[in-house]
Amino acid sequence: MLNLSTAAGVREIFSRYDLRAKKKLGQNFLIDGHVLGKIITAANIRDGDRVLEIGPGIGGMTQALLRAGADVTAIELDKQLVPILQNLFAGEKLRIIQGDVLRMNLHEIFDIPSGGLRPPTPLQGGAMPPLDPQQETARSAVSDESFDGADPGEAGAVRRAARPACEVRERGSGETFSKVSPEKESANIKAVANLPYYITTPVIFALLESGLFESVTVMVQKEVAKRFSAGPGTKDYGSLSLAAQYFADATLVANVPSNCFMPRPAVDSAVVRLDILPAPRVDADHAKLFRTIHAAFGKRRKTLLNALDSEFPCGKPELAEILRSCDIDPQARGETLDIYAFARLSERLAESTGAMP
Ligand code: SAM
């Protein structure tokens, strides 16, 4: 079969099916076998593994996953590509679902009840972050072709569903890997994707919060990759860094220059692997924790006291007292707090203000 992750392979499929890359859908196809090999190795794909691939495109990565023995479920938004993929991979262990990954109930797709897994899915009440349009730029491809699939603006929209009821747990044990009881298992599915960049953040949150995956190996913009491992006080530190730390250990697998894609994007990329922890890193309810984190980073330039004031309307004197009781200077900025400080703060805010959902 034609090697789909080469420039010649992509050209052949484009000409055979009269295709053009759709910039609005972030269609930059990987044409570097070496990078693809690194992704498959990093994701540790074994015979029989269940793998979710987001955005198979014309199937370059899908082909590599199938060759490694994976049982692949692929979600593709572009309607035009679905029959092509069905044709190319007829008879293989591939299930293709057409649609927007952000609108999918991943538990239903894998036939796994959501109650048995760690956190709720975002669509069922997870703490979805607001999309930051400045950090979430689409890959700007050289070609700017017509678009006739679903509406990517809609696909990129972040949906914030009703939050789950929160109960206040015992405060965590500080800088250790404390466990949220009871510890629950993931469904041992691996997520692998060369992500369309305009939806990177909500997709990563959805995957992390679903509790379905043992690992998430993704190609993202290099700038976004830096955010996964950024620490307090750095410019890349934000809610994505904290989400990655809360749910996973992050490893940078490879930096990927723009010439590894067709069409060639304007920015470089990187592959990151997130190994999901058996239990979240800190003993704090994730909805409460991320409400506090989003409040703190939503007004990044403001002091914590001012940033939290609009989200927790209990009055500044009480807020200042809560911050001090957590050993946090009310005049500090959110970007200076590590995940343990955020965990303490979110629990204290819930206890003291009763303002949590
Ligand atoms: N996996 C292929 C590769 O590595 O060459 C293609 C990756 S390309 C960067 C991103 C793919 O995601 C495209 O095929 C695009 O159509 C698809 N896509 C874009 N938005 C999507 C969405 N909301 N849900 C599912 N797939 C989407």
Residue 135 has pLDDT above 60, yes or no: no
Same domain, residue pair 271 and 335: no
Query: Ligand 1 centroid to 183 CA: how many Å?
Result: 33
Determine the atom of ligand 1 nearest the C-alpha atom of 53.
Answer: 1
Residue-wise pLDDT for 212-237, tens only, equals 999 999 999 999 999 999 999 999 99
pLDDT classification of 186: cutoffs 50, 70, 90? low
More confident residue, 156 or 34: 34
Q: Which of 247, 276, 305 is the last residue of a domain?
A: 276
Same domain, residue pair 270 and 314: no
Amino acid at 297: F
For residue 100, give both structure tokens. 């927007």
Same domain, residue pair 257 and 293: no
Inside any domain, residue 252: yes
Query: Ligand 1 centroid to 146 CA: how many Å?
Result: 16
- pLDDT at position 115 is 61
Same domain, residue pair 126 and 168: yes
More confident residue, 164 or 350: 350
Atom 3 in ligand 1: residue holding the nearest Cα: 29
Atom 1 in ligand 1: residue holding the nearest Cα: 56
Q: Would residue 42 be called left, alpha or beta, if left means φ above 0 and alpha means ψ between -120 and 50 degrees?
A: alpha
Inside any domain, residue 224: yes
Average pLDDT over residues 150-171: 30
Same domain, residue pair 43 and 126: yes
Cα-flanking dihedrals φ and ψ of residue 45, to 5°? -75, 125
d(CA 299, CA 302): 6
Cα-flanking dihedrals φ and ψ of residue 322, to 5°? -60, -45
Average pLDDT over residues 257-268: 97
Q: What percent of the chain has pLDDT over 70?
A: 78
Q: Which of 226, 254, 276 is the last residue of a domain?
A: 276
Inside any domain, residue 306: yes
Does ligand 1 lie within 6 Å of residue 64's CB atom?
Answer: no
Range of the domain at 204: 7-276
- DSSP label at residue 281: S
Same domain, residue pair 106 and 255: yes
Residue 245 has pLDDT above 50, yes or no: yes
Does ligand 1 lie within 6 Å of residue 32's CB atom?
Answer: no
Residue 136 has pLDDT above 90, yes or no: no
Same domain, residue pair 102 and 251: yes
Inside any domain, residue 121: yes
CATH number at residue 216: 3.40.50.150
The count of domains in the chain is 2
Least confident of 45-54, 94-103, 186-195: 186-195
Same domain, residue pair 290 and 270: no
Does ligand 1 lie within 6 Å of residue 54's CB atom?
Answer: yes
Estimate to the nearest angstrom the gap between the alpha carbon of 327 and the chain centroid: 31
Residue with tokens 């392979």: 9
Inside any domain, residue 356: no
Same domain, residue pair 248 and 302: no
Residue-wise pLDDT for 193-212, tens only, equals 999 999 999 999 999 999 99
Average pLDDT over residues 48-76: 98
Q: Which of 224, 247, 276 is the last residue of a domain?
A: 276
More confident residue, 335 or 156: 335
Inside any domain, residue 281: no
Same domain, residue pair 37 and 158: yes
Average pLDDT over residues 86-92: 98
Query: Ligand 1 centroid to 134 CA: how many Å?
Result: 21
- pLDDT at position 125 is 33
- pLDDT at position 23 is 96
Inside any domain, residue 232: yes
Residue-wise pLDDT for 98-132, tens only, equals 999 999 999 999 999 886 444 443 333 333 343 33
- Does residue 291 contact residue 356 with C-beta atoms inside 8 Å? yes
Atom 8 in ligand 1: residue holding the nearest Cα: 27
- pLDDT at position 109 is 97
Atom 10 in ligand 1: residue holding the nearest Cα: 196
* Winning range, highest mean pLDDT, from 35-39, 151-155, 185-189: 35-39
- pLDDT at position 113 is 87
Average pLDDT over residues 65-85: 98
- pLDDT at position 107 is 96
Same domain, residue pair 269 and 308: no
Own/partner long-range contacts of 4-7 (Cβ < 8 Å, ≥24 apart): 4/58, 4/59, 4/60, 4/62, 4/63, 4/88, 5/29, 5/30, 5/31, 5/32, 5/33, 5/36, 5/60, 5/61, 5/63, 5/64, 6/31, 6/33, 7/31, 7/262
pTM of the model: 0.82
Same domain, residue pair 335 and 265: no
Inside any domain, residue 220: yes
CATH number at residue 323: 1.10.8.100
Query: Ligand 1 centroid to 21 CA: how many Å?
Result: 11
Does ligand 1 lie within 6 Å of residue 120's CB atom?
Answer: no
Determine the atom of ligand 1 nearest the C-alpha atom of 30.
Answer: 5
- pLDDT at position 286 is 87
Query: Ligand 1 centroid to 289 CA: how many Å?
Result: 31
Residue 27 has pLDDT above 60, yes or no: yes
Q: What percent of the chain has pLDDT over 90?
A: 72
Estimate to the nearest angstrom the gap between the alpha carbon of 75 and the chain centroid: 15
Does ligand 1 lie within 6 Å of residue 155's CB atom?
Answer: yes
Does ligand 1 lie within 6 Å of residue 28's CB atom?
Answer: yes
Average pLDDT over residues 279-294: 93
